[in-house]
Amino acid sequence: MNRAENVGIMFPEILVPDVKTNLKKWAVIACDQFTSNVEYWTKTEKIVGGAPSTLHIIVPEAFIKSDDLDERISHAKSTMAAYIEEGVLVRLPKGVILVERDTGYRTRVGLVLAVDLEKYDSDGSKNPLIRATEQTVPERIPVRLRLREGAVLECPHTILLMDDLKNTVIGPVYEARKNFARVYDTPLMQEGGNLRGWFIDDEEVLDGIVAALEKLKSKSKSGMIFAVGDGNHSISCAKAVWEKTKEGLTPEQIETHPLRYALVEIVNLYDNGISMEPIHRVLFGVEPPVALRILVSILNEMGAEARMMYTRGTRMLPKEGQQVLFFESKMSKGRIEISKPPHKLLAVTLSHAFDRLMKELPRAEMDYIHGEEEFHALTNGHSTLGFLMEPIAKEDLFGLVSEYGVLPKKSFSIGMPEEKRYYYECRLLVEAKAQEEDDGQKESAQPDDEEPVSREPEKDEPRGGGPERDEAAENDSGDNEDIGEYAKTAEPDGGGYIDVAEPDAEEDYINAAESPAEEPEDEDSGARGKGKKEKRRFGLFGRKREWHESL
């Protein structure tokens, strides 16, 4: 076992959209947001249109009860394959992406890499390196399972948190970001802020990440390094698919199979961009007075000594040892005071009570709402009743998970709805054949001594699963100019990866990544002129793909 495996991570070959992609349309918010706000997703569909977008390879949970669910899942899977075959995605060498997200509220920094699902456990009973923090919502699991089973790509919104008070894992990498190639920089749709990323494959930097994680592991009393911050359902489904898949594999195949891993973003719990927000509950199809009486009765049966009172909406701090649950409907507001809470967390106190309430009200439906603005809009509707939950202090999270195990479903949220992770990076879930090019064969898309040229998109050129490429990127569509500039300069933060021109239809070389061309070594060139160039060709679904790397 190598050192990276020992801390549960792997440096994957990450896929990013190529230079012709409108990045503002490519990135969309996590599928589990705005679940009761179909209008948000309808607007997103209008913004994206037929352009290449992660919207076409996910299924928003706002549509899990729609009549066309089967079609949506089928379309997502076929579009994944099309994006690979048509060259929408560029595959980077093994490494990580340093991500900086300006949300409009604050700035969050993370590292995109892969984690070993063998080191993940959903109930915490085995003291795993990667631990679930919340129970899952059963009705949201089947769609994600169907989407991952047989899929050729994954595109993550999972965020794993680290208890790294001194910021030893990400801090040094972020401070050195000017030395790395920036591979994207784009505004995000629907008030999502801005997203930028730097690709890193420097062995010294990667070794530093592993070393810092090793120290975190050695200090952890429970052995836990990562706690799932966002994406509990996604990583749980990935684990389930892997457990099913590995039953038919040999021990050798199990060691390296792509489905053993999941692409995630790791973030320091103490990052200034991490805000622990509550997830509120809204009941639909109920008579609020009846539902409230039943809930208070259930709490009292639990020995909680609860009482309900109507108010004008003014929130009051609970007395010492007391918990307060605020409620709201179209006609009334108030609170339920719990004098003898059975648990110090309100979410845990209410978990069993809400489960029993839903059994008493079989026609009711419950949704989990991020943000008070949407909460108030929903509770203003007829036959709805909402409950405002309280936040968990971030410094308490790891202790709570270590002490109590998995918390009740939807106990907390990382940030406000618009701050949630936007899909951007992808990873192959099927094995791609790698071939070393024979020295005696020259199948390169172009001679080494020629300048690399980005292939221009044809007018109305179709791209994956029906979407069409925009004829030209909008001015605010996202800055991935650095990708095209990577072949022109070796300066730090000088760029990323570009497409290589196709010499003819038979060769069909697409989306190759070109790094800085070698320069003659002289007194002023320093390290820039040193080293030799290595070529590799990777076959993806019968396509030929090439990238060049300066060593």
pLDDT at 474 over 60: no
pLDDT at 119 over 80: yes
Please indicate whether residue 539 or residue 138 has the higher confidence score (pLDDT). Answer: 138
pLDDT at 67 over 80: yes
- The residue-averaged pLDDT of 501-524 equals 32
Element (H, E) at 301: helix 288-301
Residue 407: DSSP 8-state: B
Helix, coil or strand: residue 13:
strand
Confidence grade of residue 125 (pLDDT, cut at 50, 70, 90): low
Q: What is the pLDDT of residue 169?
A: 99
Confidence grade of residue 19 (pLDDT, cut at 50, 70, 90): very high
Residue 426: DSSP 8-state: B
Confidence grade of residue 526 (pLDDT, cut at 50, 70, 90): very low
pLDDT at 338 over 80: yes
Question: What are the boundaries of each domain within the chain?
Answer: 3-274+415-428, 278-391
| Closest alpha carbon to 536 in 440, 446, 414, 434 | 434
- The residue-averaged pLDDT of 408-422 equals 89
CA-to-CA dists, residue 385 to 161, 330, 378, 398, angstroms? 33, 8, 9, 32
CA Rg, the chain, in Å?
25
Q: What is the pLDDT of residue 126?
A: 66
pLDDT at 99 over 60: yes
| Closest alpha carbon to 331 in 299, 367, 292 | 292
pLDDT at 306 over 50: yes
Cα–chain center distance at 400:
24
Q: What is the pLDDT of residue 478?
A: 54
Identify the weakest region by mean pLDDT among 56-65, 341-350, 528-537: 528-537
| Closest alpha carbon to 216 in 271, 164, 161 | 164
Q: What is the pLDDT of residue 432?
A: 62
Pairing of strands 365-370, 279-284: antiparallel
| Closest alpha carbon to 423 in 35, 153, 36, 137 | 153
Confidence grade of residue 109 (pLDDT, cut at 50, 70, 90): very high
Dist. CA 129–CA 117, nearest whole Å: 10
Q: What is the pLDDT of residue 493?
A: 55
- The residue-averaged pLDDT of 356-383 equals 93
Dist. CA 397–CA 161, nearest whole Å: 10
Q: What is the pLDDT of residue 1?
A: 60
The chain-wide mean pLDDT, for the chain, equals 81
Element (H, E) at 25: helix 23-26
Dist. CA 514–CA 481, nearest whole Å: 14
Q: State percent of the chain over pLDDT 70.
A: 77
| Closest alpha carbon to 500 in 458, 440, 543, 545 | 545
What kind of fold does domain 278-391 have according to CATH?
A: 3.30.1760
Q: What is the 3-state secondary structure (H, E, C) of 63-108?
A: HCCCCCHHHHHHHHHHHHHHHHHCCCEEEEEECEEEEEEECCCCEE
